[in-house]
Homo-oligomer: A and B are copies of this chain.
Amino acid sequence: MFENVISIKDFKREDIEFILREAEKMEPFASGEKSSSALRGKILGMMFYEPSTRTRLSFETAMKRLGGDVVGFADTGATSAVKGESLADTAMMLSAYSDAIVIRHNLEGVARYISDVVDVPVINAGDGAGQHPTQTLLDLYTMKRFFGRIGSLRVALVGDLKYGRTVHSLAYALAVFGASMSFVSPPVLRMPDNIIHDLRGAGVEVKETERLDDVIDEVDVLYVTRIQKERFPDPEEYSRIRGAYHIDGSTVADRDLIVMHPLPRIDEISPEVDSLPQAMYFRQAFYGVPVRMALLRLLISERGGSENQKIV
């Protein structure tokens, strides 16, 4: 069906729906309620050239919950990169030890390049300003799991819509399902014009606004993202904007919506929201495990059995 997971744009709607259905089967195994040896003896190679906790640990957990294991690195200090080895050679080496590779890198396009070099499946865990398809799949899964559908949802993407690969990928994917979208951001962090153009070209209803109040009463999902201080030359401007997009108890009280966030959050959402029924971000983080389990199982177990055998 698919051999790599590089960009969400590579996936047809039926592919995504199939993955989300498979992910649901994984939940009792993801939570530790049931144990599986589906990937016993299989190895996932991890190439993490950028700091990451959530994505890295959820891939590790996904692999281990399926009875497999991981090898690799989460920083480059202790690796042969210090000896000047090329990225392609490092990937070739790791592919000789593993059944699939997960790569995060700060350069866009690296994951696809590596998938051309090696013979094992490659999963993109974020490549610079490019794609982060497994994040998008778990975002979609969270919506599907809560509402039972994605198609007719009204989703507000809030915060930094200019630099965030997460919201770019998600917007394209929501378009495929026919969800309607509102983009809520300060002018300097607007969703790029080319993406809005693509979405409208695909027949998606898109609304843009600076004010959260304009959309808060007509959305099912508030998808909040972090606004990075570094984007603003003027600290006062940053403070003002941060305040304007801050979500607290009063923002969501009595409203029939869910709050999502790719995490980590800094102070976009008050801790008081955490215990409200609308808070879905920690559940969303958990859903990263069943979604990645589904992908790993589809990519790896297709490539050969893991029947336990005696060495003779």
Contact = CB atoms under 8 A, between A and B. Distances in A.
A311 B25 contact: yes
A96 B307 contact: no
Given A32-B99, A96-B289, A264-B89, A37 B308 contact: yes
Interface in A62-90: 64-65, 67, 69, 71-75, 77-85, 88-90
A48 B78 CA distance: 10
Report the contact-size class of chain A (Cβ under 8 Å from the partner).
35 or more
A309 B54 CA distance: 27
Interface stretch (A39-47, A150-158, A212-220): A39-47
Interface in A288-303: 288-289, 297, 303
Contacts of A60: 71
A265 B85 contact: yes
Interface of A: 25-26, 29, 32-38, 40-43, 45, 48, 51-54, 57-58, 60-61, 64-65, 67, 69, 71-75, 77-85, 88-90, 92-94, 96-99, 226, 263-266, 271, 282-283, 285-286, 288-289, 297, 303-312
Contacts of A310: 36
A294 to B, nearest CB: 10
